[in-house]
Structure 1
Amino acid sequence: MKRAVLAVAAVIAALVVPAADAAEPVRFATFNASLNRAAEGELLADLSTPDDPQARQVAEVVQRVRPDVLVLNEFDYDRTGGAVGAFLANYLAIGQNGAAPIDYPYAYTAPVNTGVPSGMDLDNDGTVGGANDAYGFGQFPGQYGMLVLSKYPIGQARTFQLFRWVDLPGARLPDDPATPQPADWYSPQELESLRLSSKSHWDLPIDVDGRTVHLLVSHPTPPAFDGPEDRNGLRNQDEIRFWADYVTPGRGGYLYDDAGVRGGLEPGARFVIAGDQNSDPVDGDSTGANQILHAPRVIDPRPGSAGAVEAGTTQGGANADQRGNPFLDTGDFGDEAPGNLRVDYVLPAAPLIPLRAGVFWPTSQDPLARLNTTSDHHLVWTDLLV
């Protein structure tokens, strides 16, 4: 185990480039902060004062790591923008436990599919309505939304909230095991409107000192909470495949965005894929992350932490039987199956140069270990030369 951790640490150390003649690196990060609430408007209410304990912890994690561009998964969407403004003013702009305040002059959020009623019985339980029958699992529209904060200007977003699952060539559509027909969990009528993205897919052009970096943001559904038809597991893989096709020249021509514009990313464009993919390349219920890890030009900086190694060892259980290196884990799911996993990613693509990368997961001896309970995910960061 120690040899494996040291080997990975050596790989990361080898990525560190002498910076004497280099431009200032830009830190990209992703954090599933679990700032989701059970009812619409509850997050805004919690953030309207500066004393919500969890939001203070989230803010402190951000202030300790200090990313320049940050993806926050599971930040409930609020069409007024009030929750975003409140988080910036009441939490990030106030130093938490000795950490320095941090300012993000640019922010982006938009509607997502979670909680949006489909009007169909998507879970085939004989009734229509509720979280399982929404276009993406959620108790209300916008639950488990996404937010991007940036120190650099964000250009015109390209969103893919409405892209239909059936329009993905070779879509992995689930099969009802109780019937002889293949891939028939969803009726033809349901497939006419069923969307691929459980939240949304965003292409955000970030202007970093005159150079555009496309931040590709998503949060695929967890590959669980379904039945033998595996509808969530299959959807998770296809949500991840979306980005693999989008960035691969010649494979994204079928894609269309919410404005009706077709095609994938322009060949040679700089990009970073970031977000909670709910997929580990080796362990767990989905290995779909390999589709983006092996996409053209993508570089895996292999961020990790000693805290993840310690957690996997002390928790034991399912962690003991995993094949993946615990150093790379980003999600702390305890000792029960599937155990801790690598599910959160910041993946740059050449010609971007990763200098160093890490996961904010302090060991139990670190005074900052108190922040490990902020979320069941840990912030992942990568420093890039753009």
Structure 2
Amino acid sequence: MRVAFWRIDFAAAGPGAALGAILERRPNTVAMAQVIAGLVPDILVLSGVDYDAQGHTAAAFNSLIAEQGHHMPHMLAPTPNAGMPSGVDLNGDGWAHGEDDAHGYGGYPGARALLLLSKHPWATERLRDFSQTLWRDVPDARLFSGATSSQLAVHRLSSVAHIALPVLLPTGAELWLLAYHAGPPRFGDHPDRNLNRNHDESAFWSLWLSGKLADVPPDAPFILVGGSNLDPFDGDGMSDAMRHLLAHPRLQDPRPSGPGGKLAADPDHLGPPEHDTVDWDGPQGNLRVSYVLPSSDVTVHASGVLWPLPDTPLADLLKATNTAHKPVWVDLSLN
């Protein structure tokens, strides 16, 4: 089966804007759906889809994908931290109601959250949602300088969400899907809050898979999917967290690659450019920040970053999505 991750961007300016763009069939939203349909994933994790409690945005976008010929009837939009008010001045600027004071950065509740789509049903009754885990409760948490007791009493680790749940396959087997999206390491005025948080959001999975948290990870095969906003070699984040996760004995790194990324290499970067997953024009350049990492007990048949060479129909279609990030996919089978 094929498992994929893609960070998309509706450029929504407020609640309901992404839903409106989907319902109006704006060209970039149709292009996104066409890319996904062409990728034909069995399981897809999207980041950047606005959350609403009734699931209207998720359902509308999934319907748009189905219109392009690819059906994934099973949806899950976990309640995110993004944009959800904390009521506390978390960034220390004297104001408790800013975008960076939410449980996860966001201009409005549910901004740019996770959406999970699948051809196979979820066992939602066994969903493990770690999104409300307090940052201070994570072993070896780096926290941030000047943190007050009132901030740490409400400050969650997850910028968006950390979840795990089983996918029920037609053979009767289960594949656990672990999904998350971390905030970027460098933004805001605080010197180290978001930098350390970004580190710990990926370090969480290393701790969990090593049995260092109260929740015990499953023995079944699994796949870790999401956006870490962290390159293992380059960028301005603490890369050691990503290298440590990629080297975890319960994981394998298929090292997906794309020809477009190799062609667009940044000469001053250390990491292999063919593994990059985002085409940024800023000083950070192109980085590998999106991951699909199967457990070490599954067989990987193929993988890739959907970053084609320029001046091709697929490159033109991806450009039409107005999304800097590229889809990442892995084909696998259970042993």
TM-score, scaled relative to structure 2: 0.94
Deviation at 1:227, TM superposition (A): 4.2
Of 156-165 and 215-224, deviating more is: 156-165
Q: CA deviation at 1:146?
A: 0.4
1:356-371 alignment to 2 at 5 Å?
Answer: 356-371=302-317
Q: Secondary structure at the match of 1:45?
A: helix
Please state if 1:117 is matched with 2:69. no
Greater displacement, 342-351 / 221-230: 221-230
1:264 and 2:216 correspond: yes
Q: Which amino acid aligns with 1:64?
A: G
Tell me, yes or no, if structure 1 residue 74 matches structure 2 residue 48.
Answer: yes
Structure 2 partner of 1:160: 130
Task: In structure 2, list runs of 5 or more residues that go unmatched.
Answer: none
CA distance in 2, matches of 1:57, 1:320: 31
Shift of 1:76: 0.5
Instruction: Give yes or no for the alignment of 1:198 onto 2:186.
Output: no
Pair 1:277 & 2:247 matched: no
CA distance in structure 1 between the aligned counterparts of 2:289 and 2:91, rounded to whole angstroms: 25
Q: Is the 8 Å Cα contact of residues 198 and 219 (structure 1) preserved in structure 2?
A: yes
Contact in 2 for aligned 1:299/1:349 (Cα 8 Å): yes
Structure 1, unpaired ranges of 5+: 1-25, 96-100, 176-183, 254-262, 313-318
Separation of aligned partners in 2, 1:104 and 1:228: 41
Q: For 1:203, what is the secondary structure of its paired residue?
A: strand
Q: CA deviation at 1:64?
A: 1.3
Q: 1:88, 1:134 → 2: CA distance?
A: 28
Matched, 1:380 2:328: yes
Q: What is the CA deviation profile of residues 52-73 of structure 1, one whole-angstrom value per residue up to 9, with x for unaligned ones? A: 1111111111111111000000
Change (3 A) 1:71 1:36: farther
For 2:168, the equivalent position in structure 1 comes to 207
> Of residues 235, 250, 256 in structure 2, which corresponds to 1:303?
256
The percentage of counterpart residues that share the same residue type is 37
The AA in structure 2 aligned to 1:127 is W
CA offsets per residue over residues 205-247 of structure 1, 9 Å max, x none? 1112211111100001101113462211110110111111112
1:324 aligned partner: 271
Aligned counterpart, 2:7: 32
Q: Hey, what's the Cα distance between the residues in 2 that align with 1:328 and 1:225?
A: 24
CA contact (8 A) 1:281 1:289 kept: yes
Task: Tell me which structure has the larger Cα radius of gyration.
Answer: 1
SS in 2 for 1:137: coil
- CA deviations 1:350-373 (Å, max 9, x no partner) are 211111000111111322111332
Taking the aligned partners of 1:151 and 1:211, their CA distance within structure 2 comes to: 14
The structural deviation recorded for 1:88 is: 2.0
